[in-house]
Structure 1
């Protein structure tokens, strides 16, 4: 059994309330179970209970065993002093608040019906290669599935926006710097997002701004700080790389960049098509930084999808149109539409949502999300599996929602937090 099951039981009050009492004999009347807390602290907040003749308002904490209170160190955390009821499956020991007072406990082991337990195990123990409830999905109304995907999409976008907001705070409320760092990370396209995130830290926007008018100097800074200008058998005798190396040596001394550069081995080239090599992505990022002097304003105010697409459609320098990596020749295509769509999804949308939250204009969130419905659906093994099972997959909003559903609910089997899983469990219970 998982703790999520007890959360579900408490939230929906699916247990026998006959002569409901705490472990020390107090009569319990549940006036309001409270609402689920998604942040740190007790599991349910603003609950209202009556213990004997006294009404209490506060939090409810839920554990499989009462002793989990101590295992999780709640006895030393002030947030748990507001707990008015400890709901457990097994009450194996009493627990106390910081002031030494005992927290009333409710044990549910004898109050949860066997039919509910069987329905729960039937849902979670289904062997499925795609998602746990695959075999039972046909019984779930389409509106339930659609609303859950929309909910997962909003949670995914809000999570990305919160990362942008935290970055904005660390960068002293500088939206242009926030955009620079967010854009750099996104140009890593998952495989190289982490080293590109570190590169943005190693190459401050203040330095980039001073040289963004000169593409050669900008490339020298980007590739030099990336550790990709070190001489090797590929680049020996390459005139352009020699110029970049010489330019970087000068700029590195000028801006005291010693010791902050990445090493060449930190970049991932393995199992990537040449067009996705980090050297190609760096050249494309450099071209955007060179051609677009006001990143934040341009991405925030672009009125339509064609304008946003044009923002990213910037040709790289002549050298990088003919080289995949330093000293390695080959015809390199420009930034493709699918890559641009991913950049809009992972940069523009969360950036706009974070800004909307920052200035207190929630209506801008809707317009940011609307961008996703204009983008084509992303096809991968996860989204395609959901489409086979009957989930709508028409555009990028659906793709992002399905990816969020998979990662946040299906893969970790958080079925009881999902509207689809909850509906199936209720149906299984009714059938019995």
Structure 2
């Protein structure tokens, strides 16, 4: 058992309160469990309990063993002098505050229903990738849907907060943040990190000055990406790019860029090679006056597809590496790839901006876009579909990814509405 189970039991009061008393036989009544403290200090704040004839307001600390108080060195921290009740699974040692007064303690070892404990242990140790798999049939559909709605918003909040944090480092410049986010997602999963580094080594303001010249955009992007070295410039077109990049690099005093070793090409199809994605990014930036404002103005999925669709230059329509022609020409980024960019870039940007200006209409727009994008299909979504979860749109598939990442995989069943429903059925009768 872990301490999180005892925290859960206290928070929901899932234990037998008949003749509840401290280790010194003083009667205990719980008026307020307190608020969960996720920062440093006691586990619950602003609790209220009656011990004996006195009503106390303060903090509650949770431990598996009373002696963990000393193990965690709470005796040296004056914040724990506010603890009015120590809730433990096993009371193995009497404890005192820094002023020498005893800390009231209740032991829950014999007050938790065995079925509740066993269900918790089963969830924690279940071999299935989704730990509640054996119990899902008994969970109402509304409970599952509510949890999916919750995790979808959690995912948007998390992605939005990351963008807001970046915004603070760029003087609230939404255009720059939009460019960096889009560039990173042109790398998709395999090359997202080097694309993001490239965007920081090549500011959008410079690219925007050359937006009308696709050749110069390619020179800047391929040069800073490390693909215009002597090794690659045996090709006539790449050699011309190298010469142009040399001029532009000197003009703008560009910092050191990336190297070939920074990019991943192993086991990728030619259409996913970083060189192809760079050419597609250059084509996307070509003739784009503004990025973020255009995203705000676009309303429908077709308008976003049109925004991101742009044919690459003739050379990259027929090559995936210098002097390596493609068997099947690639004119530009595909629709499925655009869907991923909308999901991972456009929608978080809209959500972050909506939060910053408190605009519910923009939040609704972001959610509506997700609902109108086809569902993603991968190893994770397949697992949930096999468990009879619907996967009709990107709203569903994004919710699955968040649910798996934050709750199912780390076995955080106690924080999940589905897990809570399963455990709630095993709580002791009042």
Question: Normalising to structure 2: TM-score of the pair?
Answer: 0.89
Name the residue aligned to 2:278: 282
Tell me the matched-pair count: 427
Q: Within the alignment, does 1:207 sit opposite 2:206 as a pair?
A: yes
User: How many angstroms apart in 2 are the aligned matches of 1:111 and 1:282?
Assistant: 62
Instruction: Report what 2:152 is aligned to.
Output: 153
Partners of 2:143 and 2:79 lie apart in 1 by: 35
Relative to structure 2, which stretch is displaced further, 170-179 or 90-99?
Answer: 90-99
1:370-427 Cα offsets, whole Å, 9 max, x none, are: 2111011111111112111111111100000111111111111111211112222233
Aligned to 1:10: 10
Aligned partner of 1:327 among 320, 323, 328: 323
Q: 1:270 aligns with which of 259, 266, 273?
A: 266
Q: Residues 423, 222 of structure 1: CA spacing in aligned structure 2 closer, same or farther, 3 A cutoff? A: same
C-alpha displacement of 1:73 = 6.8
Residue among 335, 346, 354 paired with 1:348: 346
Distance in 2 of aligned mates of 1:66 and 1:236: 70
Which residue number corresponds to residue 171 of structure 2? 172
Q: How large is the Cα RMSD of the aligned pairs? A: 2.8
DSSP-derived class of the 2:285 partner: helix
1: CA distance, partners of 2:12 / 2:398:
29
Structure 1 residue aligned with 2:116:
116
Task: Kindly indicate whether the alpha-carbon contact (under 8 Å) linking 2:113 and 2:426 is maintained by their aligned counterparts in 1.
Answer: no
Equivalent residue, structure 2, for 1:310: 306
Cα distance in structure 2, aligned partners of 1:73 and 1:281: 54
Instruction: Report the equivalent of 1:62.
Output: 62
SS in 2 for 1:195: helix
- 1:33-80 Cα offsets, whole Å, 9 max, x none, are 234456666544443333445544454443334555566676777876
Query: CA offsets per residue over residues 96-121 of structure 1, 9 Å max, x none?
Result: 88999876544433332323212222
Given that 1:59 and 1:83 are in contact with CA atoms closer than 8 Å, whether structure 2 keeps it comes out as: yes
Q: What is the rounded CA distance, in whole Å, between the counterparts of 2:221 and 2:169 in structure 1?
A: 22
| Change in 2 beyond 3 A, CA 1:181/1:146 | same
**Unpaired segments of 5 or more residues in structure 2?**
none
What is the CA–CA distance in structure 2 between the aligned matches of 1:332 and 1:167, rounded to whole Å? Answer: 33
Mapped contact 2:6–2:64 kept (Cα < 8 A): yes
C-alpha distance in structure 2 between counterparts of 1:198 and 1:96, whole Å: 53
Whether contact under 8 Å (1:275, 1:333) holds in the other structure is: no
- Classify the secondary structure of the residue corresponding to 2:29: strand
1:29 and 2:22 aligned = no
Q: What is the DSSP-based 3-state SS (H/G/I as helix, E as strand, rest coil) of the residue aligned with 1:166? A: helix
8 Å contact 1:47–1:60 — kept in the other structure? yes
- Asked if the contact 1:91–1:107 (Cα under 8 Å) also holds between the matched residues in 2, the reply is yes
Deviations 1:137-177 (A, max 9, x none): 11111111111111111111111111111111111111111
The 10-residue stretch of structure 1 (29-38 or 219-228) with the greater mean CA deviation from structure 2 = 29-38
Looking at structure 1, the residues matched to 312 and 179 of structure 2 have their Cα atoms a distance apart, in angstroms, of: 18
Maintained 8 Å contact 1:229/1:326: no
Inter-CA distance 303–236: structure 2 relative to 1 (3 Å threshold)? closer
Distance in 2 (CA, whole Å) between partners of 1:98 and 1:220 is 68
Residue aligning to 1:368: 366
Distance in 2 of aligned mates of 1:191 and 1:183: 15
Shift of 1:81: 7.0
What is aligned with 1:197? 196
SS of the residue corresponding to residue 48 of structure 1 reads: strand
1:248 corresponds to which residue?
Answer: 245
Question: 1:242: Cα distance to partner?
Answer: 0.5
